[in-house]
Structure 1
Amino acid sequence: MVNLKPLVIALGLAYTSAGAWADVGERALAPVLVSEQAYGDTTAVVSADTLARGAARDARETLHNETGVAVGGGGSAMAQKIYVREIEDTLLTVTLDGVPQGGNAFHHQGRILIDPHILKQIEIDKGGTVASVGPGGLAGSVRMTTKEARDMLRPDQKIGGSLLGGVASNDGWNAGGAVYGEVAEAFDFLLYAKHSDNGDYKDGRGITQEKTASTQDSQLAKLRWRLAPGHALAFSYQGLQDEGTRYPRPHMTGIPGSNTPMPQKLAQQTLTAGYRFVGGGGIPAVDLTVFSDDVENTRTNRGTGPVFGKAVGYSFGERLETSGVNLLLKSKIGTSLVRYGLNYHHREAEAINPTKRGGAGGTSREQSDVSGLFAEGSIPLGSMLLLGLGGRYDWFSYEDNHGQRFVSSGFSPNANLTLQATDALSFRLGASHTVRGAGLKEAFMLDNGPGPLIYRNAANLKEETANNIELGFNYGAGPWSFKGSLFRMTIDDYINLVYRSGPPASASRENVGTVKSHGYELGGGWNNGVVRAGLSVSDAKPMLNGAALGDGDFSLGTTLGRSWQASAGYNLAAWNVDFGWNIRSMQSVTYRPSGATADVRKPGYTVHDLSINWLPMGKDKLRVTFGVYNLFDKFYYNQSTYGYSAGQGMVLGYADPGRNVRLDLRWQF
């Protein structure tokens, strides 16, 4: 454990990245309350209402209408990976109720499973992120917040419940429910459970995508106890289990030999306990959370020969454990709110049933710690300018499975300046510097490796640093809204694997060079409360050491074409019916990744989704959602899905689902 040291934190940016358009038809300048601090439009927010109207079922459906965000892997939840501005989520800070998520069990599978039904909102920062989010967000953050009883209860309710269910033509069903309430004004609680059963889906050509079927169970329990006016204790449990027979490399098909399908299960459990004080009498507001998160990924070889060196019938896998504490304090200094506090996060990774422990295989276990102090706030500069400041100082410690220890520290300052040119128009300029110390390998690497050697860290492995700069604008007047940004990102000393064919073959984890990316986002919309329409476009150009990123740049990113998002809707208030239409269009892109002797081309595609939301009893007591997703049964591979293999003569990833007709019901009583 790294001891916290006294430090006077210099202030840096409260936020740097441009927003996205969850619904580009909404007003651009209306401030959004994000984690109890108004960041305005600079954070993209996916609200509970947006999730409900879309009846989203996984990460792909939750985020597929977000500008600058892509989810590859097709319709298999375990294969899905999130890309923000074409950078993979391994370079983002990802949290659930403030608890660090994800980790990296295996670079051939996704690491963020989402049950949209329990989410109150998702916040996405692109590029820089606020200091209070936590350490190490080189390319931004994804923050998920789960619902509480007070989000479910109607104003006149003390006890309530809900039932939900849905069926899909392509292919599966889900059912669940919740009970929630308030007892004697001192306690409130929420209990939730859901089961999903998804079969192998069909693509736009009617071809079944094998080994995409899975069952998924999700649970959420929350309890809040108001000790006294202004004081409360809170406890929560969140669990998710996904099971299915999948390829060992879940996002690849068609690889012979070591990709024989096998039963696999991923289970995640998150526990939190917290104390909150609203502040007063000169004492700052307090938000203290202690947490534990456990992810276990297991598989059993049911093939006819060894897989990854594991015999037939052998069960093995990876475990990721995270624990720690987050403390957030808030004080008023004049008219400004200052947020400050500390984080301590401890992470462990280990192989389950290792076969290479000892010798070249090391201990099959490693751990890391990060301790940090942060502060952030904003300062008005006259009537037209607002300076956002914040920053954090972190101490990193990492002990790998070969007994090597890596220690580093660094200051991550940020600053942004907003000019309110008119009541309707504002401009902003932001810049940030972020430090991330060397941390855990993929847990899969702790017991696997090329030839007789195991994956190793270079002895001189050093921390990564990122610099983000962004210039943007927002305009909103009457029903009209427009926003846009130009951005540039540089990550120095990026850590990645370096393979050497040998003999003997080996792979080492090294600082391999510099990642650079630049691009833009632009969008606008019109919304008069009855009719809405919007259009946005985004593009980024990520490169590693001067070469475009390719699909094989696991845990870093990939190259996508220019992305367009369009939406339209009509609200028929007299009948409590809302009609929605969303279009996602990707232009084709040609590029040459590092080491390639020929250009790679990813075809473009356009996909249409239609939805109808009906509230027959008003006030959302009963919601009926009818949707037709991929309306025209388009066959396509998402450009962020693992790509074409010349050796196999095929795309090794999954095609996205074809037409899917769905009916979802949610009854709150």
Structure 2
Amino acid sequence: MAETQLDDVRINTSAFDAQVKSVSSKQLEEEQASDVKDILKSLPSVNVDGNARYGQKVYVRGLEDKFANITVDGAKLGGQLFHHSGDQTIDASLLKITSVELGPNSALSGQGVINGSFVYETKDPSDFLAEGENFGGKVTLGYQTGYERKTGTVAVFGKINEKLEFVGMGTISSDGTLRLGNGEKIKSKESKLESALAKLVIKPNDYNTFKISYNRYKDGGNRQLSGEKVGTEDTDNDYNSISRDTFTLNYEYKPDNELVNVKANAYYNKQYLTRESTNGTDRTSNLTYTEPQRKYINSTSGMDLRNSSLLGIHKITFGTDYTHEEQEIEADTLRVYSNNTTKNLDFEGGEINNHGLYLEDEMAFDNWIVTLGARYDYYKLGGIYNGTFSQLSPKLRLKYQASENLTLRSGYGHIFKGPALGETLAVDSTDIQTGDTNAQTGNNFEVGFDYDLTKALNADDAIVGFNAYRYNVDNYAHTTKNNSLTSQSDIMIWGLETMFSYKKDKLGLNLSHTYTDGRQKDLVSGITYDPKTTNIHIFKIGANYQITKEFKFNYNSQFVPGNEWLSYSSRSGSTTEYKRAGYAVHDINLTYNPSSLKNTSFNFGIGNLFDKKYVTHTGFGSQTTSTNKSYEVGRNFKFQVSYKF
């Protein structure tokens, strides 16, 4: 059984670590992952809905990822562009590792964490170079019938000397007609993804490492703007795209000294929605107009500096971070009305500056690991908004090795998230900030255990884990259509997580069950209702078997029973009980690495094996009474070939 060691104390690794922090590039390649849903689908307590790549939304522990911290190579992705599209602009082909930390119980996870953290790390040159290699390349080609998705990836990598390595990667992935589980064909979401990665790794000596990277993402087409909504066969759509440019500098100083392990990063991230020029009619004056190309931009820049020290039974990590966010609209020219008047569409919206200090002490003694931490945030609004918020947030995690096999766990994290900027597509000069803008605050509590079953099951590795959590968010405020920064409700979320991991010889197995529930109270009407994620059970199965040295089989499935939830409409001020239909989805994949063709790999797969017609329970139109349902893609045959040279 894998273990964590700090001095002489040995505590078994948790089942949650085994599953939540285990999405590697190898797994993504074997399963032919090509979007955020493919990347995250195996993770417990994480759910992704939507069929088109640009419309996929991510939920973790009962809330959207707008309440999580998302980083790529340490660069924070912030803000919401448009409420009918997703904001995790991640290309699976560039990823080295993906990890998710559930909950807000760590002082090291960054500012504003409520439900979790998503950490994406792109590939290094060393991930491609075999021992003794100095230069090489890799070409990957793939096709998926469910999306008519044609994908090509090229990577070039090298080791100039012992101090300098590089990797350059580029991917083009074109989507055509989407074929849904109900037999419908969708042509209004055709798009083309272009992504790239350039990275230098510099090692002046054994103690210092610099990583400098640029990551480009652009997904666009003549497609409907609302990616999560129901599609059509219409192909007469204006061009729009979602893009991201990310620059990062990461540095590590690790001398032969237990008191010093410095990690630092600085970054600039620009994520933007582009809409081409078009014609329209003003709703107030009824005048027609011609509108230029516009860009709706969310920019994030910042830094993080930390050091870890080993002092006897203590592992102490302390540091500081800073985040700056801003939103703006850029137009090529003026909007021109039919009466020859004009309007300048350029606009600078809100800004955020967050300064953070944090400290965490992981202490190991007897059969205990006690982790105490805290972070202090000073949060200031700027631009068209104003307000200052600050708070000290304590954190606590406990692990107790009750017996050789049983580990007990508990955790607490105070929640603090300053008012987030509203969606950028909707921001304009008429926005008026509410007179009582508040930070979102709350508390997270969780308890659980892990039981090592390795000996009992005569396995190479086997563990079962359970977790129960509950957290509240006062002055909950979603960013959708909320450019006044209004607090909307008080919310309570609770849930259960059960996970089982097993490895024996050539067989690997991961099972999980998660359940989310909660209550929400509208701050204006006082009406209590259910969050959309209420009453959802999700069972996930992942299995892999190394048939021979050349063949490997992977199986994934998801079972979601039907349920009900009490929805609230702020427009009508009333509640309605809706039902959601249950569904089961199965995916299979086969990897073939022929010994006769060195460095060549073939992947064959079928997603949604039985062509199930379904809508995920957080998806658009998921209630059974809806006639406007955004169904997921049906049976999807996948093929991929890779060659490294």
- State the TM-score, normalized to the length of structure 2: 0.88
The 2-side partners of 1:526 and 1:618 are apart by: 32
Matched, 1:463 2:445: no
User: What is the identity percentage for the equivalent residue pairs of Structure 1 and Structure 2?
Assistant: 24
Q: How many Å apart are 1:613 and its aligned residue?
A: 1.1
The 1-side partners of 2:208 and 2:57 are apart by: 39
Change (3 A) 1:298 1:487: same
Query: What is the aligned partner in structure 1 of residue 546 from structure 2?
Result: 571
The 2-side partners of 1:641 and 1:375 are apart by: 39
CA-based RMSD of the aligned residues comes to 3.1
Change (3 A) 1:618 1:594: farther
The C-alpha deviation readout for 1:17-70, integer Å capped at 9, x for no partner, is xxxxxxxxxx7x65599xxx9985544112222212211000011111222111
Query: What is the aligned partner in structure 2 of residue 57 from structure 1?
Result: 34
Q: In the alignment, is the contact (CA less than 8 A) between 1:245 and 1:261 conserved in 2?
A: yes
Change (3 A) 1:497 1:340: closer
Of 465, 468, 472, the match for 1:483: 465
Q: Which runs of 5+ in 1 are unaligned?
A: 1-26, 449-453, 500-505, 551-557
The 2-side partners of 1:48 and 1:524 are apart by: 22
Amino acid at match of 2:193: Q
Change (3 A) 1:303 1:261: farther
Change (3 A) 1:254 1:292: closer
Matched, 1:222 2:199: yes
Change (3 A) 1:260 1:640: farther
Q: In the alignment, is the contact (CA less than 8 A) between 1:584 and 1:606 conserved in 2?
A: yes
Change (3 A) 1:52 1:262: same
1:223-302 equivalence runs, <5 A: 223-253=200-230, 261-280=237-256, 284-300=260-276, 302=278
Query: What is the aligned partner in structure 2 of residue 594 from structure 1?
Result: 568
Query: What is the aligned partner in structure 1 of residue 582 from structure 2?
Result: 604
The 2-side partners of 1:507 and 1:459 are apart by: 13
Q: How many Å apart are 1:178 and its aligned residue?
A: 0.8
The 2-side partners of 1:103 and 1:41 are apart by: 32
Q: How many Å apart are 1:421 and its aligned residue?
A: 1.6
The C-alpha deviation readout for 1:228-282, integer Å capped at 9, x for no partner, is 3312332110001111123233222379xxx994210122110112332113457
Q: How many Å apart are 1:298 and its aligned residue?
A: 1.1
Q: How many Å apart are 1:364 and its aligned residue?
A: 3.8
The 1-side partners of 2:400 and 2:435 are apart by: 47
Query: What is the aligned partner in structure 2 of residue 549 from structure 1?
Result: 531
The 1-side partners of 2:369 and 2:591 are apart by: 40
- State the TM-score, normalized to the length of structure 1: 0.85
Q: Which runs of 5+ in 2 are unaligned?
A: 337-341, 522-527
Q: How many Å apart are 1:535 and its aligned residue?
A: 2.8
Matched, 1:322 2:268: no
Amino acid at match of 1:351: I
1:35-50 equivalence runs, <5 A: 40-43=14-17, 44-45=20-21, 46-50=23-27
Q: How many Å apart are 1:362 and its aligned residue?
A: 11
Of 576, 599, 623, the match for 2:601: 623
Flag the structure with more relative contact order, 1 or 2, with Cα contacts below 8 A and sequence separation at least 6: 1
Change (3 A) 1:90 1:568: same
Amino acid at match of 1:593: S
- Which stretch of structure 1 is more off in the superposition, 95-104 or 329-338? 329-338
Q: In the alignment, is the contact (CA less than 8 A) between 1:172 and 1:198 conserved in 2?
A: yes
The 1-side partners of 2:620 and 2:98 are apart by: 25
The 2-side partners of 1:298 and 1:617 are apart by: 47
The 2-side partners of 1:322 and 1:540 are apart by: 31
The C-alpha deviation readout for 1:65-107, integer Å capped at 9, x for no partner, is 2221111112x11111100122100000111111101421111
Q: How many Å apart are 1:601 and its aligned residue?
A: 1.0
Change (3 A) 1:625 1:396: same
The 1-side partners of 2:115 and 2:180 are apart by: 32
Amino acid at match of 1:63: L
Query: What is the aligned partner in structure 1 of residue 410 from structure 2?
Result: 429
Q: In the alignment, is the contact (CA less than 8 A) between 1:455 and 1:509 conserved in 2?
A: no
Change (3 A) 1:268 1:148: same
Amino acid at match of 2:37: R
The C-alpha deviation readout for 1:377-435, integer Å capped at 9, x for no partner, is 311232x111012221111011242xx41101111211011111223221101011021
Equivalent pairs counted in the alignment come to 610
The 2-side partners of 1:548 and 1:485 are apart by: 22
The 1-side partners of 2:591 and 2:322 are apart by: 43
Query: What is the aligned partner in structure 2 of residue 161 from structure 1?
Result: 137
Matched, 1:336 2:314: yes
Query: What is the aligned partner in structure 2 of residue 368 from structure 1?
Result: 352
The 1-side partners of 2:80 and 2:479 are apart by: 14
Query: What is the aligned partner in structure 1 of residue 502 from structure 2?
Result: 526
Change (3 A) 1:442 1:182: same
